[in-house]
Amino acid sequence: MPSVYLYIPNIIGYFRIIINFIAFAVCYSNKALFALLYFFSFVLDGVDGWFARKFNQASTFGAVLDMVTDRVSTACLLALLSQFYRPGLVFLILLGLDITSHWFQMYSSFLSGKTSHKDVKHTGNWLLKLYYGYRPFMAFCCVSCEVLYIILFLFADEKSTSLLSVCKGVLNQNPVVVLVFISTLVGWAVKQVTNVIQMKTAADACVVYDLKRSK
C-alpha cells in the first residue's frame, strides 16, 4: 500500500504548489502567463478530488493540503489586487473573510468529530447545505470567484486604479466579456454570503461545544 504522501491526488497537490510558485514569480512580468498558470492550478483542484474518489485515496492529509493550497493561493492573489486597486482594503477584507470562515469551519468540524469540513448535513441553513451538498453549485461559485479575481488582475495597470472605474470599463468590453464578468459577479457574491454564513454557523458550533464542556 503506497504512503499517503504518495497518493495520486496528493502528488497533484504538490504539483499545484509548484505551479503557484511559478505563477506568482512571473505575476508582474507576464500577467497572461500568471493567469494561465493560476487557473490551471485551480482546475487541478477539481482533478485531484476526482482521482481521490476514483482510486479511493481520500485522506485527511490530502484534504488539509488541498484547503491550505486553495486558501494561500487565493490570499496571495487578493493581496496582489489590494496593491493594484483603491480601495485596497476591500480585497484585504475578502482575504480575512475567506481564511476566517474556512478556519472556523475546519475547527468546528474537528470538535464535532466530523471527518470533513464539507459535512453540513446537520446545519439548519439551506444555502450552506446547497453549497456543500450540490457539487455543480459549489463549482460555479468557486470558479466565478477565482475567474473574477483573474479578470481584475488582468485589467489592473501599474498605478493604483479605482476598482469602480475598472468594473465600468469591463462592462464596456465585448458582450462575451460582459456576460462572463456579470456571471462571475453573481457567483462571487453568493460565495461571500456563504462564507459569512459558514463563519457564523461554525462559530455557533464552537460556542455550543464550550457550553457543553463547562457543564
* CATH number of the structural domain spanning residue 32: 1.20.120
Closest CA relative to residue 154, chosen from 18, 22, 38: 38
Active site annotation includes 70: yes
Cell of 87: 480601495
Question: Out of 45, 48, 66, 70, which one is annotated catalytic?
Answer: 70
Give the domain extent around 90.
Answer: 4-214
- Tens digits of pLDDT across the chain (215 residues): 568 999 999 999 999 999 999 999 999 999 999 999 999 999 999 899 899 989 999 998 998 899 999 999 999 999 999 999 999 999 999 999 999 999 999 899 888 888 777 888 878 789 999 999 999 999 999 999 999 999 999 998 766 688 998 999 899 989 999 999 999 999 999 999 999 999 999 999 999 999 988 87
Cell of 207: 460556542
Q: Count of domains in the chain? A: 1
Closest CA relative to residue 27, chosen from 76, 82, 89, 98: 76
Residue 137: enclosing H or E segment and its boundaries?
A: helix 135-155
- 107 close to 206: Cβ distance less than 8 angstroms: yes
Closest CA relative to residue 109, chosen from 94, 125, 123: 123
Rounded to whole angstroms, how far apart are CA atoms 68 and 181?
27
- pTM equals 0.92
First to last CA, the chain: 45
Rounded to whole angstroms, how far apart are CA atoms 153 and 34?
10
Rounded to whole angstroms, how far apart are CA atoms 127 and 96?
21
- 141 close to 194: Cβ distance less than 8 angstroms: yes
65-115 confidence digits (pLDDT tens): 999 999 999 999 999 999 999 999 999 999 999 999 999 998 998 888 887
